[in-house]
């Protein structure tokens, strides 16, 4: 998937603003939608966590 970077605010842990962020997807909460953006640091952290999740759910066939 091609990531599209824009200058904006990070919605994840670091709380930084005015830096390159990428759109992750819509956050749905209580019937409302909000766009969630993440900076590169938080994106890398999320990617590592997602990879660990995929490996746990779909273990490689030995
Ligand atoms: Zn961040």
Domain boundaries, given as residue ranges, for the chain: 5-57
pLDDT at position 58: 76
pTM: 0.75
Question: What is the 10 CA–ligand 1 centroid distance (Å)?
Answer: 5
Residue 36's H or E segment, with its range, is strand 32-39
Compute the distance from residue 29 Cα to the ligand 1 centre, in Å. 21
Q: What is the rounded distance in angstroms from the CA atom of residue 33 to the CA atom of residue 25? A: 10
Phi/psi of residue 10, each to 5°? -80, 130
For residue 36, pLDDT beyond 90: yes
Give the DSSP H/E element, type plus range, for residue 56. helix 40-57
CA 24 to ligand 1 centroid distance, Å: 12
pLDDT band at 1 (very low <50, low <70, confident <90, very high): low
């Amino acid at each position: 998937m091609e990531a599209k970077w824009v200058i904006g605010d990070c919605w994840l842990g670091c709380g930084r603003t005015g830096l390159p962020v990428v759109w992750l997807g819509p956050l749905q909460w209580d019937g409302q939608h909000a766009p969630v953006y993440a900076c590169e640091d938080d994106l890398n952290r999320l990617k590592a966590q997602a990879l660990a999740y995929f490996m746990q759910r779909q273990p490689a066939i030995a």
